[in-house]
Amino acid sequence: MENPSLLSLTVALLGFLSPCLTKLTPRVSFPMGTPGRLLTRFSSHDVGNTTTLLLSEDGDMLYVGARDAVLALDVSYKDAIILRSKLDWSPSEKDIEQCSMKGKKMIDCSNFIRVLQFLNTTHIYACGTFAFSPRCTYINSETLTMRLKADEGRGRCPYDPYQRNTAIIVDGELYTGTVADYRGNRPVISRHLSEGRRVDLKLDDTLGWLEDPTFIRSSFIPDEEKIYFFFSEVGREYDFIDKFIVSRVSQICMSDVGGQRTLQRRWTTFAKAQLLCQADNELPYNVIQDIDTLPPAEGAPADDTLFYGIFTSQWSVNSGRSAVCSFRLTDIKSVFSGNYKVLNRDTLQWSTRVQEKVTNPGECGLHNASDNALRFVKENFLADDSVRPVGRSLTMLSAEHNYSHLTVQRVLAANNRDYTVLFLLTESGYLHKAVLLQSGAHIIEEVQVFEQPQPVKSLKLSIPKGMIYVGTSEGVVSVPTANCSFYWTCPQCVLARDPFCGWDPASRACVEASNTHAGLCQDIDRGNVEEACNTVSFTHRARFGPNKLPAGELVSVSLNEVVQLQCPAASQLSQQLWERPNSRLSSDLYLHLEDGSLSFVASPATLGYYLCLSTENGYQQTMAIFHVKQKSSTMTQIPTRYTWPEAHHIPTTNSVARPWPGLHTSLGTWPKTTETRLGETEATLSNRDTQVTTRQRGRNVTLWTEESGQKEAEFRDGEPLLSARARCYLKELVVVSVLLVLCLSLLITMFLYVIRQRCRSRTAPQAVTPTRESDRRTPVEQEALKGNRFLSKRNEQASGLVCNGALTGSNGHLPNTPI
């Protein structure tokens, strides 16, 4: 056994070797209730845990396994989900009481439907936990009625509603992966409902073929006549660490009927191998969360079947990350046809010693093999090699989103190329639509489908209806796979890089790509607007984007007021830029905020027009236009000429030759003339081909621009529009400097004067205080002094002389000083 500390050091080193992750940001986000992405919901106060979904072949009916009920939902309408019928199937009070006595919660003692499969064209086979005592039954798919007596469901359905399981019916036989006991200690992969000479099969419990597995999904490959099971379990072959989780793929043959003497009623074709979702120099993402099968393209061999899975890691280094890996069927078959590990029954240790290969484990037809061959299969069922992902690399890696479920679809784009689109469900309640490109994964959009994180969810894709159904504890949500009408212009339709959507020049709309639409503008790989939309005129748009944001909005402000101009983002991948005619936005005057808005203090230098541009993938478009004007009661008309700078456009776009992009993506010109008369609250700017209407802030403003090719424009307003060139403050600087010098000189002079007065007061004769002097004078002298003081007061009232802030005597000398 290897040293655990050495493993920890290896984990840490591999973590540092991991390359920097590329942030995967959805281009457009639709929170719950957003008008741009309308969803259809079904919920009922008496229905919960609608997490098991079964879709009819034509896609018109969705059967839902819920808590204590089976529902039949009509989903034939695009904008409605209608409850057609409901079958109540709940345990009796006695069953619930027995479940509660075993220490289970009352809420968990309900009947959670966990198996829902079509048995034939008329019946559905359903199994539920039934108060920790699984039951199964047959349900008529037309009337949604069940037969009176239910069958024992052990080995077909889990006891615990929180345990994951998988089930699939092929040719009337049920293949399941679940646990076969109350405590969940007996995992089994088994076959049920066998008839005739075929018998039900399961794994040998004593062989340790499964080690505490978590079943994820099963898939049937018709050309191989095999069932593949995907799950995660403890990897006993790694004995250097306790409970090291590995992801597995196992196979069994449909023709298997068990051995004649050895492995009677047991699988003879069971084999398993490790799924290794790992990039070079990185730790593996070893815990599988979900997997879906992508059939091969039309005309391609079955070996091109792909399995897309979501994987997480048990290592803290990769905590919070989700990886998507794809595995090819031909690689899985190659691993199963290779060497196998040997299990020592005495020490329960695996080894890879070279031995004579009696037979190939996993090969179909071994039920007729000899006992010696079956004993070899019985002890050699773990493939020595691991199944590597396609391209030996990760298909997608996200550090921001924790994915739990996925479904995959192949889409034929307008260029007759197939693109793989993944629909990924996050734990936080968002559904991501991502297209796989050579440059990496591109998340087209995210849609919030439920509010609170939930442990049990499911996805069901209906390709004929173009819908994805999400089953949650809150209800069922239908999400259209395409949302083309959200994109109002050709550039937005192309920048979305959605294989489902393309711009139709004839109808001037973004439509779903299909065989009926030819000549659609689309560029999935690069998203190049200039090349894809070269046949589309940008000179007119009747609507300004999906949110109908105003353009040319008049903003009336007062001087020294803080102004903040909001600019809507074209997408979460775009960058917002602010510009002014004939001016550069200095960082000393302007503050660019994180949300793309512009903040500044209103001053004569900051009044005028502001243009917000959005740049994405080399394409630039106008998002907002503001006219910041000082509030004034009287206005004069002073014409001012502006020239828009030539070098502010990105040279790779169609807007290079256009100095003023118009509404949304139109390429018009800067309005030539603006006139505002005294007392008007609305100004209309018009010329031969241009009309601009502005209103006070808070009202809708429209802008039509149909003239192009102008490089210069004139503005005339009710007040002078200051030139955006930098003002010269030399005169102001000189005046301020002179005033500062004068103030300093005055302060110094006063300081010297105070010091001089203090020096004089020290050398001057001291005056006697009146109190003490009055005590030494005779009564005659005191009466004389009183008379002098009376005369002094009268003189002061008459003359009111004040010198240096002190009153003077009648002779002009300071009081109390000798004459």
Give the pLDDT of residue 804: 39
Q: Is the per-residue pLDDT at 240 higher than 80?
A: no
Topology match between the domains 485-532 and 553-717: no
Give the pLDDT score at 813: 43
pLDDT surpasses 80 at 674: no
CA torsion sign for 537, 543, 546, 548 is: positive
- Dist. CA 395–CA 400, nearest whole Å: 16
Q: What pLDDT is attached to residue 316?
A: 82
Mean pLDDT of the chain: 79
220-229 tens-digit pLDDT: 999 999 999 9
Query: Is the predicted pLDDT of residue 582 greater than 80, yes or no?
Result: no
Residue 515 has pLDDT above 80, yes or no: no
Q: How is residue 317 written in tokens?
A: 């280094």
Alpha carbon distance 605, 69 (integer Å): 70
For residues 772 and 801, the model is more confident at 772
Residue 672 in this model has a pLDDT that exceeds 80? no
441, containing H or E segment:
strand 440-448
Residue type at 266?
R
Q: Give pLDDT, residue 125.
A: 97
> Computed from CA positions of residues 150, 155, 156, 160, in that sequence, does the dihedral angle turn out positive or negative?
positive
What CATH number does domain 485-532 carry, 3.40.720.10, 2.40.128.260, 3.40.50.300, 3.30.1680.10?
3.30.1680.10
Pick the closest to residue 595 from 570, 617, 566 (CA basis): 566
> Is the predicted pLDDT of residue 503 greater than 90, yes or no?
yes
Cβ partners under 8 Å of residue 254, min gap 6: 170, 171, 173, 225, 226, 227
* DSSP 8-state assignment for residue 388: P
Using one digit for the tens of pLDDT, what is the confidence trace for 736-753? 888 999 999 999 999 899
Residue 141 confidence (pLDDT): 95
Class of domain 163-403: mainly beta
- Angle made by CA atoms 305, 308, 310, in degrees to the nearest 5: 165
pLDDT of 193 higher than 90: yes
pLDDT, position 696? 34
| More confident of the two residues 312 and 775 | 312
- Which of the listed ranges 184-188, 490-494, 577-581, 777-781 does the model predict with the highest average pLDDT? 490-494
What's the N-to-C CA distance of the chain in angstroms? 116
Categorize the per-residue pLDDT at 206 as very low, low, confident or very high, splitting at 50, 70 and 90. low
Other beta carbons within 10 angstroms of residue 398's beta carbon come to 24
Tell me the C-alpha distance between 505 and 513, whole Å. 13
Q: Which of these ranges, 4-13, 94-103, 238-247, 521-530, has the smallest mean pLDDT?
A: 4-13
What whole-number percentage of the chain has pLDDT above 70? 75
Q: Between 679 and 374, name the one with better pLDDT.
A: 374
Mean pLDDT value across residues 381-409: 94
Q: In sequence order, which ranges of 424-579 are alpha helices (DSSP H)? A: 490-495, 529-532
Average pLDDT over residues 229-241: 89
Residue 5 — pLDDT band, cuts 50, 70, 90? very low
Of 141-145, 441-445, 706-710, where does mean pLDDT reach its minimum?
706-710
Q: By C-alpha distance, which of 352, 360, 355, 354 is closest to 377?
A: 360
pLDDT for residue 640 is more than 90: no
> What average pLDDT does this structure show over 164-172?
96
pLDDT at 242: 76
- pLDDT level of residue 35 (50, 70, 90 thresholds): confident
> What are 65-102's pLDDT values in tens digits?
999 999 999 999 989 999 999 999 999 999 999 999 98
Q: Which residues, listed in sequence order, are joined to residue 123 by a DSSP beta bridge?
A: 140
**Residue 218: strand pairing partners:** 229
| Lowest pLDDT segment from 223-227, 427-431, 588-592, 788-792 | 788-792
- Reported residue count of the chain is 819
Residue scoring higher pLDDT (208 or 809): 208
- The pTM (predicted TM-score) of the whole model is 0.75
Question: At residue 350, does pLDDT exceed 50?
Answer: yes
Range with the poorest average pLDDT among 326-340, 593-607, 682-696: 682-696
Lowest-pLDDT choice from 248-252, 729-733, 806-810: 806-810
pLDDT at 630: 92
- Does residue 48 have a pLDDT over 70? yes
Q: Of the candidates 388, 392, 282, 408, which has an alpha carbon nearest to the alpha carbon of residue 21?
A: 282
Q: Give the start-to-end residue ranges of the domains of the chain.
A: 163-403, 485-532, 553-717, 781-819
What is the per-residue pLDDT for 164?
Answer: 94
pLDDT at residue 11 greater than cutoff 90? no
What Å distances lie between residue 135 and 69, 91, 158, 181, 417, CA to CA?
A: 13, 10, 10, 13, 47
Query: Are 387 and 274 in contact, with CB atoms under 8 Å apart?
Result: yes
CATH of 553-717, one of 3.20.20.10, 2.60.40.10, 1.10.1200.10, 3.10.110.10: 2.60.40.10
Candidates 676, 675, 645; CA nearest to 660 is: 645
How far apart CA 602 and CA 631 sit, in angstroms, is 11
pLDDT, tens digit, 9 for 90 and up, residues 521-552: 999 999 999 999 985 544 333 333 444 444 57
Range 325-342 average pLDDT? 95
| Residue 418, beta-bridge partner list | 412
**Rounded Cα distance, 253 and 332, in Å:** 15
